[in-house]
Amino acid sequence: MRPAIAASGDAGFAPSEADAIEGAPYGMFVCDANGTFELVNAAYEQLTGYSRETLIGHRTFGSLHDLTHAIRQPAQTHTTPSGNIEFDGECVCLHRNRTRAPVHLAVSRIDAATPGRQRYVGIAFDLKQHAQYQARLWYVTHHDHVTRLPNQTLLTERLDLAITRCARHGAGFTLLIIELDQLRQIGNALGQPAVDLALQVAAERLRGVTGPDDTIACVGGTQFVLVAQATGQQASVLVELIRARLAEWPEISQAPVSLAASIGGVCFPEHGATPALLIRRANVALAEAKRAGSGQSRFFCAAMEAESTRQLELETLLRGAIDNRQLHLVYQPQITLATGELVLAETLLRWRHPTRGAISPAEFIPVAEKSGLIDQLGEWVIRNACREASQLLRRVRNMPRISVNVSPQQLQRQDVLGIVTRALDENALEARYLEVEITEGVLLEHTDTALETIQALRRLGVEIAVDDFGTGYSSLAYLTRLPVDRLKIDQSFIRRMLSDPQCHAIVEAVIAMAHALKLRVTAEGVESAAHAARLTDLGCDEAQGFWFSRPLSQQGLYNVLRPLDGGALPG
């Protein structure tokens, strides 16, 4: 093993300084006023081909560096009284094997610790290796490390060039943003390595359908961006070709996976087009494609931008609504059909803006889901529903169970069990007064996290209902494995059951199946006596809808409960 350079008694450096010199990735040396080496590091040995034993005390740096034939004018050169040269520039290094290599050399004086003694430190690195390093660094900083495609930085540069070139020649191009629809599911099921492999397969397929003048990039680790020379009908044909190519299921981790993608596009020329504007508009089109369902594509139009602007404005207002107490709860009673008893009340979120008035949940809930605000809203609903239920319980004896909706996103990203437990404890409310409604999407994904949370809530004493049953694609086998207490038949079937024999058959079958599994059934959207009567005949357990009651405020619910209470507690 080579001794540490700090062991050299003549070096005069502290051990930490000597270690720093030795560990430097470029050649370093220390010499005296005559240029004789006093210390060299391993990188300098490699650069010159000489060992430190051969250099130290025997050779001068001037004998290894041809300073008289500088490759370019030195930035600084100065001859000291003793004839030594301070140098900063490019020169030629003479290697031991007699080859000549271009290097950058910088030699400067060190403040003398000993009066009268001058020493100099030199730094030298191979310009060819430096150029290779710079090229590697450029590649790494301009390409996605998984797909080896250009990243956002390089995409912006090439897109800027495409805009300039096409504007000059009066030509056009198409920008497509391609997002794999099942990437999150692949990650949940098979892990991150499978996600990386899916991206690599998709990247290779995209290379196979694009031309030599097109640019493909991978941005954000999840999206592909294609700048294609095709326009008009050719662009539409390209989109269909991409969708068809990606639709072929490859095997990843010995499992077939879907690479179906949603695609949003925008065509140049566009008024005031910049890379940022085109990407933003293609993302707007992508959002429209995703709303239309998996594997869809859309091209940008002005109406989309107006809707996108409204969505962004609504998101901003919604964030303020949470902080400014613009939200409140109402309760939709659920009635036992056999007895007319009010047994449950579904909690519904309402938003009243100070200037815009009431804003429909059908409008703001999708915005909340897309922006991630649904988690914050969901927690707010659980906490306030438990608080208001506790207040009601102090005023009436026969308190119905209060039902709250929990989204699949909440079950995936939040500690729903912890939120529910804290809300119950803080308000001294027993778990038997609370029901959690989940959607069939939870049954469809059937993730371990969601399943564990549902089971823990049931053990706590909270009942579980499946909302909008019949509208999803879940396997009925899940109903035998999950601790579900109740199914709620979606109102789209209830409203058509008297006029559509197929809807009637579905409602009848769901009721029979649920009862066979010892589950209760609630019909949503009951708006007439005829509907209520037919559901009673079919054996449906509960119903909710405008025929029985519109959603009520907390005080309105109390006003309904008080006459039914058989002697209410003092208010």
Whether the upstream peptide bond of residue 269 has omega within 30° of 0, thus cis, is yes
Full domain range(s) for residue 170 = 145-300
29 domain-assigned? yes
Cα of 192 vs its chain's centroid, Å: 14
Same domain, 319 and 434: yes
305 domain-assigned? no
E strand or H helix that includes residue 364: helix 361-371
420 domain-assigned? yes
Residue type, 157: E
Same domain, 283 and 156: yes
List the beta bridge partners of residue 447.
none
- At which of 267, 300, 333 does a domain end? 300
CATH number of the CATH domain containing 61? 3.30.450.20
Same domain, 288 and 315: no
Same domain, 228 and 320: no
- At which of 300, 334, 356 does a domain end? 300
Same domain, 253 and 322: no
Same domain, 363 and 286: no
Domains in the chain, number: 3
CA distance 41 to 531: 90
Same domain, 324 and 257: no
189 domain-assigned? yes
Same domain, 446 and 557: yes
CATH number of the CATH domain containing 386? 3.20.20.450
- At which of 300, 332, 366 does a domain end? 300
Same domain, 47 and 86: yes
CA distance 496 to 440: 21
Same domain, 400 and 517: yes
Residue type, 384: N
Enter the pTM of the model.
0.59
Written as tens digits, the pLDDT of the chain (571 aa) is 444 443 344 456 666 667 778 888 889 999 888 889 999 999 999 899 999 999 999 998 888 988 765 555 444 544 444 445 678 888 889 889 988 888 888 888 886 666 667 888 899 988 887 777 777 878 888 899 999 999 999 999 999 999 998 888 888 999 999 999 888 888 877 888 888 999 999 999 999 998 888 999 999 888 999 999 988 899 999 999 998 888 887 777 777 887 889 999 999 887 778 899 999 999 989 988 888 888 899 999 888 877 777 888 888 888 888 888 899 999 999 999 999 999 999 999 999 999 889 999 988 888 888 888 888 999 999 999 999 999 999 998 889 999 999 988 888 888 999 999 999 999 999 999 999 999 876 765 556 778 888 999 999 999 999 988 876 555 566 677 778 899 999 898 999 999 999 999 999 999 999 999 999 999 999 999 999 999 999 999 999 999 999 999 999 999 998 887 654 444 4
Strands (E), 220-372: 223-228, 251-252, 255-256, 261-268, 297-299, 327-336, 342-353, 357-359
Same domain, 497 and 534: yes
Same domain, 153 and 239: yes
502 domain-assigned? yes
Say if residues 487 and 466 touch (Cβ distance below 8 Å).
Answer: yes
CATH number of the CATH domain containing 172? 3.30.70.270
What is the residue-wise DSSP string for 212-237?
TT-EEEEETTTEEEEEES--THHHHH
292 domain-assigned? yes
306 domain-assigned? no
E strand or H helix that includes residue 261: strand 261-268
Torsion (CA) 368, 369, 374, 378 in degrees, nearest 10: 120
570 domain-assigned? no
Give pLDDT, residue 50. 94
